[in-house]
C-alpha cells in the first residue's frame, strides 16, 4: 500500500472527476493505464512509492508536465491482480499511441458530443491530430484538455 505520510493537500485535484477508490470493485482494473497527478515537490517520492507498491508493466513510468499548470501526471500500467485500490489523485485512462493522447471514457463521450452537435455516436470519427500530447478528462462534468510534455521517463 502507498505510504499515507506523503504530504498532499486534501483533495488536491478535486477539480477533476475521479473514480472513487471505493468504486474499485465496480471497475475492471486488470492491465489498465493509471494516471496519478502530483506536484513537483512530491514527484520523486510518489514515483518511488508507486514503484514499490505495484508491479508495473513494461518497467516504465512516464512523467508528464502539464504545461498550463504547476502539475505533473505520472502514467503507468498496473499488472493484473495487483490492485487493491486506486491511489489518491489517480484516474484510469486510455491512450491513443499515435498522438500520445490520454483520455477517460467520460471525456471521450463528451468530445464526441461536442464535435457531433450534441449527439453521442460511438462510431463518430475523431481527428486525433487535434489532441496531440494531451490528457482529455472531465472537470466538474465539462470536457477539459490538459496539454502535456514528457518531463522524464522512469526506468524501473
Q: Where are the alpha helices (DSSP H) in 12-104?
A: 43-53
Is 5 a member of any domain?
A: no
Instruction: With CA atoms as reference, report the closest residue to 95 among 43, 47, 132, 150.
Output: 132
- Residue-wise pLDDT for 96-155, tens only, equals 999 999 999 999 999 999 999 999 999 999 999 999 999 999 988 899 999 999 999 999
Is 110 a member of any domain?
A: yes
- Residue-wise pLDDT for 24-79, tens only, equals 444 554 578 999 999 999 999 999 999 988 889 999 999 999 988 889 999 999 87
Is 84 a member of any domain?
A: yes
DSSP letter, residue 19: P
Alpha-carbon distance of 153 to 137, in angstroms, equals 22
Quote the domain boundaries for residue 121: 30-155
Is 24 a member of any domain?
A: no
Is 47 a member of any domain?
A: yes
Is 13 a member of any domain?
A: no
pTM: 0.79
Is 20 a member of any domain?
A: no
Is 14 a member of any domain?
A: no
Domain count, the chain: 1
Amino acid at each position: 500500500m502507498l505510504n499515507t505520510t506523503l504530504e498532499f493537500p486534501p483533495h488536491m485535484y478535486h477539480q477533476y472527476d475521479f473514480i472513487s477508490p471505493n468504486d474499485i470493485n465496480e471497475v475492471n482494473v486488470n492491465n489498465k493505464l493509471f494516471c496519478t497527478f502530483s506536484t513537483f515537490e512530491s514527484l520523486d517520492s510518489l514515483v518511488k512509492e508507486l514503484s514499490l507498491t505495484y508491479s508495473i508493466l513494461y518497467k516504465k513510468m512516464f512523467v508528464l508536465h502539464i504545461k498550463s499548470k504547476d502539475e505533473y501526471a505520472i502514467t503507468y500500467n498496473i499488472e493484473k491482480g495487483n490492485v487493491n485500490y486506486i491511489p489518491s489523485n489517480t484516474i484510469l485512462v486510455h491512450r491513443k499511441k499515435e498522438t500520445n493522447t490520454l483520455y477517460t471514457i467520460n471525456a471521450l463521450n463528451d468530445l464526441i458530443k461536442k464535435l457531433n452537435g450534441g449527439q453521442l455516436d460511438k462510431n463518430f470519427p475523431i481527428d486525433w491530430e487535434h489532441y496531440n500530447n494531451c490528457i482529455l478528462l472531465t472537470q466538474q462534468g465539462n470536457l477539459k484538455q490538459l496539454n502535456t510534455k514528457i518531463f522524464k521517463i522512469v526506468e524501473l
